[in-house]
Chains A and B, each alone.
Chain A
Amino acid sequence: MNDVSHKNFTSAGSVTATGNRGLQIEEPLLFEIGSTNFTGVDVEEPEAFESRLGDVERTDMMGLPGLSEPETMRHFVRLSQKNYAIDTGIFPLGSCTMKHNPRLNEKMARLPGIGDIHPLQPQKTVQGAIELMMQLSDWLTSLTGMPAVAMSPKAGAHGELCGMIAIRAAIEAKGEADTRRVVLVPDSAHGTNPATAALLGFSVRSIEAEKDGTVRASAVRESLGPDVAAMMLTNPNTCGLFEPDIAEISAALHEAGAYLYCDGANFNAIAGKVRPGDLGIDAMHINLHKTFSTPHGGGGPGAGPVVFSKSLAPFAPLPLMARDGDGKLELIEEKASSGEARPFGRLTAFHGQMGMFVRALAYMLSFGEDGVRQASEDAVLNANYLRKLLKDTMSQPFGDRVCMHEVLFDEAFLKGTDISTLDFAKAMIDEGFHPMTMYFPLVVHGAMLVEPTESESKRSLDQFAYALKALANAAKRGDKDRFKSAPRFAPLRRLDETRAARQPILSYTPPAQQAAE
């Protein structure tokens, strides 16, 4: 396993003996470094005792090596250096909201009274934790103008599931479960929306967006009928535009006995300025890892609390939170103790993402009501500033018009260059930037969705625009190779994704075993 001549070190195209290039150091898999009979943790040997495992004691070898602490540090630090991150530079992934992650929030999450408490400790020993959840839920209900919140959903898609189950439960309560089987979803929606609706047995009816990416109330009305349970709408939408008809859309839905679910992924554009409850929204998840800056962590953990209108509030899932007359706080974990409420059930084993709650609350307390609004305004300002800087360089599918917190470009400016959105994005990597969201929303050809967030300074935005202009000019000049061969300066060149899918290799197999197979 300690063979240093493994394939990374003899790779084609490397100009050094080791394959390393200065600070870019090749790092083998941990399974190629360590030994299975070594451990990097000192565990004491218990006094002699009689096993009570019965007939299920494990005796096989798993093939998992242990590494010493210095080897472990070096392995994971070297790997980390192959990652781009917000702390490295602008991370303009539209719809994903990559903003600064304050370190105070990390410190707070690691207080023993927060990070080291058990979900099933007696509730009298965790009153501060329940109070923290209540404070966060007060912020969420105040900012959204909606009366209730379910705290337990673990991410945005889990929140969608929560909101849509509540809608189903409300429809069932009205005796309409068998007739209302359709959910309206615009073409521009996140893939999670139709996936969630389908998971709950709804059929999805697509609604076409206008040329400018927004949905007209008239289009919704035409699709409405006694079979419609709800509509799922993102606002601001995935093209970065506020839905101007949204209040009319919600009124039409309500009149027809249906509900409006709002995908809150883009709440960060309007937090502190617009209350979704005022728009007639019935349920909306809030990605704490987007709007309220809990770290994305390379793919989670997130948190997706769901706010509810008065009509859906009774169906919110367990656990519920309550405060009695003496100020004692309680997490209600069972239907039987839920009083008037009719919780639809349970979405996760415990109470939600406490570690994310404390980070989000630290963020809100730091910003305050005034700061949350300023952040939304700066996010919108930054997107429009980039739009203006790039309006003569890149093309906008709906013309040069005001956007919210993200600005959408398409591939029209690359027409005739034989350079695709993907090539353009990979060339951005060589310039030291993370690409924007590509090919989403699906309603725009070669979409490039740029979300700078409020964390970027004017200087940072100027540099970013400078790089994009330089690339666009190079593309128009016909400097094709710069794009087709990109990235050239990243730790790896373009990866063969087709091969990965056709011949899936999903775990490490030792060479000896590989040969045998």
Chain B
Amino acid sequence: MRYLPHTAEDRRAMLGTIGVGSVNELFADVPGEFLLDRIEGLPGHKSEMHVERALGALAARNIPAGSVPFFAGCGAYKHHVPATVDHIIQRSEYMTAYTPYQPEIAQGTLQYLFEFQTQVAALTGMEVANASMYDGSTAAAEAVLMAHRVTKRKKAVLFGNLHPHYRAVIETISRYSEHDVVDLPSAPNAEFGLEIDDKTSCIVVQYPGVFGGVRDLTPLAELAHRNGALLIVVVTEAVSFGALRSPGSMGADIVVAEGQSIGNGLNFGGPYLGLFATRKKFLRQMPGRICGETVDEDGKRGFVLTLSTREQHIRRDKATSNICTNSGLCALAFTVHMTLLGETGLKKLARLNHANAVALADRLAAVPGVEVVTPHFFNEFTIRTPKPGTEIIDALVDHGIIGGVPASRLFPGDGLDELIFVAATEVNTNEDREAYAAALREVLA
């Protein structure tokens, strides 16, 4: 077996050194009736070539985003990732290292985490950021739990523009950790009419919203703060930081984001990375790993994981979160891509995304029967069509186009069946947009 170095002779010699006759003697603590010679129903080992064939055959049954005009978003976005990024994250020293528990021989990981935290804080307009969470949705749930700890209250109010799957993650954790959630109704362009009282720990709002809309969050921050609650801003498209006023500048107390768009591929939904940033005064309540600067015995600058007294391996049942492994390598991909972009590149990239979305919106609005219902947006918007969105998206596949996400997939039974969420990024060409509009025209005819 190509991954196992021992020869039969090595094994015999080692068993001899140990002083046992067979390897099963080393499993002596396992009651005999549970020790098996084989597991039924599983195949034997395969050569590298055969594994490649088997998995290649599965991959061939999927339609890759890059192979068609592609317009799906809703929390996962098709962006171009520079080749440099994938090369660096595959370096052994990053990919095959563990969480940096021995800082003297993990400065590579620790320094990029420090750089990552700096980038995330700057993008979100916040003071401190952690070293990543699993993804945007789990980061959002952790943010709600953190708000409960900070305010010593237990009710979260979720704005109706929050991605329904994010909402479901928050609801699940809240329900089983005995916290309350108030869900506001979902509709495109819903107003900020909020039920907030002295039990509310936080308002959770998405920016841009799941319908694509963007708006000034300052009034919402003021409302939250007037009532002693925190404003949590959820961002599912990190490229938007290059075009939109930062949540921090509008009064957010915690900003969580899905970082996939920068440096990371679609991967059918994971692995992604959650960005988590907050105000300095809430630092001790922040979940997750945090990297900090210090010096070594010679006075040289270095980095370590710090503030670990918040964490499970020290505090056990008093920890701020149970998180351990997070998204280190995805954070590296993010950092490398952001390093190449810089803020100048990010702003240009965001501008191109917005331009392509505007061009697409205009093109689709010209198709008879189609209405663009989101007046202000970044790179994603909602259209209303005269037929159910699911039917249209399905029919578009037959035209070789992934035309977006039907609202009914995220909001089944909510009466939003005629809506479709459409995203545009830098990868879309004018030909893609024309193909989409032409196909949509045919599908609706």
Query: B112 at the A/B interface (Cβ < 8 Å)?
Result: yes
| Interface-facing stretch out of B194-202, B223-231, B338-346, B432-440 | B338-346
In the complex, chain A residues 92-138 whose Cβ is within 8 Å of any chain B Cβ: 93, 96, 98, 100-102, 104, 106-122, 124-129, 131-132, 135, 138
22 pairs of residues in contact across A and B, judged by CB atoms under 8 Å: A12-B298, A38-B342, A40-B345, A43-B426, A55-B215, A60-B245, A66-B339, A87-B96, A113-B59, A117-B62, A154-B138, A198-B316, A300-B329, A336-B413, A345-B176, A358-B55, A365-B46, A375-B3, A384-B26, A495-B104, A496-B296, A504-B292
Instruction: Determine if B178 is an interface residue (Cβ-Cβ < 8 Å).
Output: yes
Contact between chains at B291 and A506 (CB < 8 Å): yes
**Which one of B1, B52, B87 contacts A104 once the chains associate, using CB atoms below 8 Å?**
B52
Give the residue of B48, B64, B173, B336 whose beta carbon is less than 8 angstroms from that of A366. B48
Within 8 A of A (CB), among B153-181: 163, 165-166, 168-169, 171-173, 175-178
| Cα A387 to Cα B298 with chains together (Å) | 37
- In the complex, whether A282 has a CB less than 8 A from a CB of chain B is no
Whether B324 lies near A66 (C-beta < 8 A) is no
Q: Which of A104, A139, A143, A429 has the most CB of B within 10 A?
A: A104
A225 CB to nearest chain B CB (Å)? 19
Inside 8 A of A278's CB, which chain B residues have their CB?
Answer: 34
Question: Quick check: is A175 within 8 A (CB to CB) of the other chain?
Answer: no
What A residues does B92 contact at CB under 8 A?
A: 85-88
Query: What is the number of residues of chain A that contact chain B, defined by CB distance less than 8 Å?
Result: 216
B36: nearest chain-A partner, CB-CB: A273
Contact between chains at A112 and B296 (CB < 8 Å)? no
In this assembly, does B10 line the interface, its C-beta being within 8 Å of a C-beta of chain A?
A: yes
Bound-state CA distance A326–B373 (Å) is 39
Question: Smallest distance from the beta carbon of B66 to chain A beta carbons, Å?
Answer: 5
Asked if A194 and B29 sit within 8 Å, CB to CB, the answer is: no
Residues of A within 8 A of B265 (CB): 115-116, 355
Q: Which of B39, B246, B378 contacts A53 (CB 8 A)?
A: B378
- Complex interface: chain B residues within 8 A of A423 (CB): none
Query: Shortest CB–CB separation between residue A249 and chain B, in angstroms?
Result: 12
- By a CB distance below 8 angstroms, the chain B residues around A334 are 412
**Interchain residue pairs A-B with the least CB separation, the first 10:** A66-B342, A350-B269, A113-B59, A128-B61, A297-B329, A345-B172, A39-B345, A119-B269, A299-B328, A368-B45
B135 touches which of A30, A349, A440, A454 (Cβ 8 Å): A349
Name the contact of B6 in the complex, choosing from A196, A457, A507 (C-beta under 8 A): A457
**Is A353 part of the binding interface, using a Cβ–Cβ cutoff of 8 Å?**
yes
Residues of chain A from 478 to 517 with CB closer than 8 A to chain B in the complex: 487, 490-497, 499-501, 504-508
Contact B325 A242 (CB under 8 A): no
How long is the Cα–Cα vector from A102 to B315 in the complex, in angstroms?
A: 35
- Report if A118-B44 is in contact (Cβ < 8 Å); known contacts: A496-B296, A506-B128: no
A130-171: which have CB < 8 Å to B?
131-132, 135, 138-139, 142-143, 154-158, 160-161, 165, 168-169
User: Are A54 and B34 touching (Cβ within 8 A)?
Assistant: no
Give A390 Cβ to nearest chain B Cβ, in Å: 12
Expressed in whole angstroms, the Cα–Cα distance for A59 and B178 within the complex equals: 42
B312: interface (CB < 8 Å): yes
> When A81-B108, A455-B5 are in contact, do A198 and B351 touch as well, CB less than 8 Å?
no
Q: Per-residue 0/1 for A51-93: is the Cβ within 8 Å of any B Cβ (1 yes, 0 no)?
A: 1111111111111111101001101110111111111100101
What per-residue 1/0 map shows which CB atoms of B299-336 lie under 8 Å from chain A?
11111101111011111111101111111111010001
Q: Which residues of B contact A61 (CB under 8 A)?
A: 343
With A289-B325, A301-B325 known to touch, is A492 a contact of B104 (CB < 8 Å)?
yes
User: Which of A199-207, A252-260, A410-418, A468-476 lies at the interface with chain B?
Assistant: A199-207
User: Do A507 and B117 touch (CB < 8 A)?
Assistant: yes
Q: How far is the CB of A318 from chain B (nearest CB, A)?
A: 8
Judging by beta carbons under 8 Å apart, are A501 and B306 in contact? yes
Contacts of A298 in B (CB 8 A): 94-95, 97-100, 106, 108-109, 328-329, 332
With both chains docked as a complex, state the minimum distance between the C-beta of A300 and any C-beta of chain B, in angstroms.
4
| Most A CB within 10 A of own CB, among B43, B108, B312 | B108
Max chain B Cβ within 10 angstroms of own Cβ: one of A19, A353, A354: A353
**Chain A positions within 8 Å of B112 at CB level:** 76, 79
- Taking a contact as CB atoms closer than 8 A, the residue among B115, B168, B329, B355 that contacts A295 in the complex is B329
- A55 in contact with B345 given A300-B325, A349-B75 (CB within 8 Å): no
Using Cβ atoms and an 8 Å threshold, which residues of chain A touch B330?
A: 297, 300-301
Q: Is the CB of B72 within 8 A of A118?
A: yes
1/0 per residue B333-372: CB within 8 Å of A? 0001011111111111101101111110100000000000
Residues of B within 8 A of A126 (CB): 62-63, 268
Distance in angstroms between the alpha carbons of A63 and B296 in the assembled complex: 28
**Neighbouring A residues of B3 by C-beta, 8 Å:** 100, 102, 366-367, 371, 375, 454-455
A195 on interface, CB distance cutoff 8 Å: yes
Q: For chain B, which range describes its interface: under 10, 10 to 19, 20 to 34, or 35 or more residues?
A: 35 or more
Shortest CB distance A94–B (Å):
11
Question: Who on chain B is nearest to A8 by CB?
Answer: B301
- A346 cross-chain contacts in B, Cβ below 8 A: 165, 168-169, 171-172
Nearest residue (CB) in B for A120 is: B405
Q: Is the CB of B358 within 8 A of A36?
A: no
Determine how close the nearest CB of chain B comes to the CB of A37; give it in whole angstroms: 6
CB-based contact A36/B344 at 8 Å: yes
Chain A's nearest CB lies how many Å from the CB of B25? 7
Contact partner, B289, options A69, A299, A380, Cβ 8 Å: A299
Docked Cα-Cα span, A104 to B56, in Å, equals 12
The docked-state distance in angstroms from the alpha carbon of A43 to that of B239 is 13
Report Cα–Cα, A457/B7, bound state, in Å: 9
Smallest CB-CB separation from A63: which chain B residue? Answer: B122
A222-B102 Cα distance, complex, nearest whole Å: 40
Q: Which residues of A contact B95 (CB under 8 A)?
A: 85, 101, 106, 295, 297-298
- Whether the pair B304, A125 counts as a contact (CB closer than 8 A) is no
Are the C-beta atoms of B59 and A114 separated by less than 8 Å? yes
**Is the CB–CB distance between A40 and B342 below 8 Å?**
yes
- Contact indicator B58/A131 (Cβ below 8 Å): yes
Chain B 134-147 interface 0/1 with A at a Cβ cutoff of 8 Å (1 = within): 11111000000100
Residues 1 to 45 of chain B near chain A (Cβ within 8 Å): 1-6, 10-11, 13-15, 17-20, 23, 25-31, 34-36, 38-45
Query: How far does the Cβ of A204 sit from chain B's closest Cβ, in whole Å?
Result: 5
CA distance A57 to B351 in the complex (A): 10
Q: Are B134 and A158 in contact (CB under 8 A)?
A: yes
Is B105 interfacial (CB 8 A cutoff)?
Answer: yes
Q: What residues of B have a CB within 8 angstroms of the CB of A52 in the complex?
A: 354, 357-358, 361, 375-377
Is A339 part of the binding interface, using a Cβ–Cβ cutoff of 8 Å?
no
Please judge, given known A-B contacts A46-B352, A52-B375, whether A302 and B325 are in contact too, CB under 8 Å: yes
A contact residues around B289 at 8 Å (CB): 299
Q: Is the CB of B107 within 8 A of A348?
A: no
Complex: A241 Cα to B30 Cα, angstroms: 10
Give Cα A30–Cα B107 distance, bound, in whole angstroms: 14
Asked if A157 and B102 sit within 8 Å, CB to CB, the answer is: no
Contact B301 A122 (CB under 8 A): no
Q: For residue B111, which residues in chain A have a CB less than 8 angstroms away from its CB?
A: 27, 29, 79, 82
* Chain A residues, Cβ within 8 Å of B257: none
Q: Choose one: B61, B122, B341; the contact of A41 (CB below 8 Å).
A: B341
Q: A53-B376, A112-B59 are in contact. List 16 more A-B contacts (CB 8 A).
A: A56-B245, A58-B244, A76-B91, A83-B94, A142-B40, A143-B39, A192-B322, A195-B312, A195-B321, A270-B27, A298-B109, A301-B271, A345-B169, A347-B169, A366-B45, A507-B118
